[in-house]
Amino acid sequence: MQDLGKRIRERGWRQGCVVPAAVLLESLPDGSSASGEDHALVVTQSCDLVHHDPRNEPSAVILLLKSIDAGKPEFMHGRSPRLFHFESLEGNWLEAWAWNQVVLPRVTLADREAEASVRLVPGTIRHVLDWLAKRYTRIAFPDGFNAALQPKAKAIGKWLKRNHALYSELLLRVAPFNELETGQQYRLACYLLMKSRVYDDRDQLAAAIAAAADLENIFTECGLVVKECSPVSEAVLTVAELNQLVRWDYDYLSHRDSSDS
């Protein structure tokens, strides 16, 4: 019998391919939210997907996608750890919820052609995989730090909606990175990480500097000691500096319900 991996490869399956969910609908687990109008994105790494022995690699992981009219910036580029909006090469907008993954026996793919429903813009699959990984690897901030920000959650949410187009990530340095002793305050440095082409645009940089000043005021009103709050270009941030910073996943403050975002 032809080995499983070869059959899967010949059918065109690989990491990053997107097919109509209808191709897999009858094989999806009970309770799946998919409909025939949805899409299915293969997230299993290609070498594992075409491995010859089903005993070593019995399954494939599929991320289910829904078509939407337009993407919302607050859910692009992995800003929210739960919801991701991205555009296909054809200009269609797609929505992915991190929880909406299914595991299928790989043999399911061996008997179906991987005929693409949409094509991903180059680099999108890497962004999606990084976003999914952050669901498990993102760092939890101290409860005391989160509690300090909570009274200004609405103001932070408004700031995010006004300014999200200016930066790709918010990076923080928080000290101490634990629960506070009596009389202590959190010290904070915040950086608006900007694409180099955005940072190099004089008007956008000026807008980012003003936005950073507004965010610094909010942090100060939360009782934090703000050492710095400023834009920084991706082109100049070093690995050493990046290793000292933590990505701020703020969706618990600003995106409690995506339906009204």
Whether the predicted pLDDT of 81 surpasses 90:
no
Confidence of residue 2 (pLDDT cuts 50, 70, 90): low
Q: Which carries the bigger pLDDT value, residue 138 or residue 50?
A: 50
Confidence of residue 260 (pLDDT cuts 50, 70, 90): very low
Confidence of residue 30 (pLDDT cuts 50, 70, 90): low
Unique residue bearing structure tokens 């337009």 = 70
**CATH 1.10.3720.10, domain 4-137, yes or no:** no
Confidence of residue 36 (pLDDT cuts 50, 70, 90): low
Cα torsion angle, 139, 81, 256, 215, sign: positive
Residue 181 is predicted with a pLDDT of 87
Confidence of residue 32 (pLDDT cuts 50, 70, 90): low
The tokens for 60 are: 């494939």
Cis peptide before 73 (omega within 30 of 0): no
Q: Could you write out the DSSP letters of every residue in the chain?
A: ---HHHHHHHTT--TT-EEEGGGTGGGSPTT----TTSEEEE-S-HHHHT-S-TTTS-EEEEEEEEEESS--GGGSTT-SSSEEEEEBTTS-EEEEEEEEEEEEETHHHHTS----SB-BPTTHHHHHHHHHHHHHHPPPPPHHHHHHHGGGHHHHHHHHHHHGGG-SEEEEEEES-SPPPTT---EEEEEEEE-HHHHTSHHHHHHHHHHHHHHHHHHHHTT-EEEEEEEEETTT--HHHHTT-EE---HHHH-S-GGG-
CA atoms within 13 A of residue 157's CA, in its CB half-sphere? 15
Whether the predicted pLDDT of 35 surpasses 80:
no
Residue 259 is predicted with a pLDDT of 36
Q: Are 131 and 84 in contact, with CB atoms under 8 Å apart? A: yes
Confidence of residue 230 (pLDDT cuts 50, 70, 90): very high
pLDDT, tens digit (0-9, with 9 covering 90-100), for 132-180: 998 888 888 999 999 999 999 999 989 988 998 899 889 999 999 999 9
Average pLDDT value over all residues in the chain: 89
pLDDT, tens digit (0-9, with 9 covering 90-100), for 185-209: 999 999 999 999 999 999 999 999 9
Percent of the chain with pLDDT over 70: 92
Strands 59-68 and 93-105: antiparallel
Whether the predicted pLDDT of 107 surpasses 60:
yes
| CA 149/CA 141 separation, integer angstroms | 11
Residue 31 is predicted with a pLDDT of 57
Residue 255 is predicted with a pLDDT of 40
The tokens for 112 are: 């179906």
